Amino acid sequence: MIAETKKELPLSVVISALIVDNKLLLIKRIKGDYIGYWGLPGGKVEKDEHLSDAAVREIYEESGIESEFSEHLGFVSEHLIENGVILKHFLLHICELVPKTTEIREGIEGNLKWFNIDQLEQMKENIIPSDYLMIENMIKDRKSNYYNCVLEKIGDKHVLKRFE
């Protein structure tokens, strides 16, 4: 049983998939909850902002890449827990964007790089565990469009406990 913390609203986040020539844009986080891990770029949806607008804005802020919204690929309800306590509840909207350029402007969120989507398994241990499964299931294979997820923070590692 997971103990409850103070009642905070879940955090609504857009996660963006930009793919060009079978390469996917990932960011190595330098701040936030997943420091040192590669993951899909994204960020918080602002008050009165549509998901599609948030996805385009966040990609531009993090990478300098202008893009257009293409498709909402799915949704993940993710709990980040530590010592049996829910630290955060993220509502993740996975969006596909079409980039207008591929040139990356380094931002303040982390290092950005294009990776061959078919070779990500080789670096699986360096990718946020839930992001890796989002890439495999929702982006590559276009499987289910909804998942419940639980990640447990143990020291500076994040262990996937549930993704179904």
**Percentage of the residues of the chain whose pLDDT score is greater than 90:** 80
Residues 45, 128: Cα–Cα separation, whole Å: 20
Residues 44, 85: Cα–Cα separation, whole Å: 22
Residue 89, domain member (yes or no): no
pLDDT at res. 110: 87
Degrees to nearest 5, angle at CA 130 with 37 and 4: 105
How far does Cα 60 stand from its chain's mean position?
15
Residues 164, 162: Cα–Cα separation, whole Å: 6
Residues of the domain holding 51: 15-76+95-146
pLDDT at res. 81: 94
pLDDT at res. 4: 53
pLDDT at res. 106: 76
Residue 105, domain member (yes or no): yes
Mean pLDDT of 64-80: 96
Number of domains in the chain: 1
Reported as a single tens digit per residue, the pLDDT across 21-55 is 999 999 999 888 889 999 999 999 999 999 999 99
Q: With 60 as the cut, is the pLDDT of residue 147 above it?
A: yes
pTM higher than 0.85: yes
- Positive or negative, the CA dihedral 127, 130, 134, 140 is positive
CB neighbours (10 Å) of residue 133?
A: 18
Mean pLDDT of 76-92: 94
pLDDT at res. 5: 46
pLDDT at res. 3: 53
- CATH number for the domain spanning 51: value is 3.90.79.10
Residue 42, domain member (yes or no): yes
pLDDT at res. 89: 96
Reported as a single tens digit per residue, the pLDDT across 113-141 is 999 999 999 999 999 999 999 999 999 99
Residue 153, domain member (yes or no): no
Name residue 90's amino acid. Answer: F
Taking phi over 0 as left and psi of -120 to 50 as alpha, with beta for the rest, 132 belongs to alpha
Residue 141, domain member (yes or no): yes
Residue 53, domain member (yes or no): yes
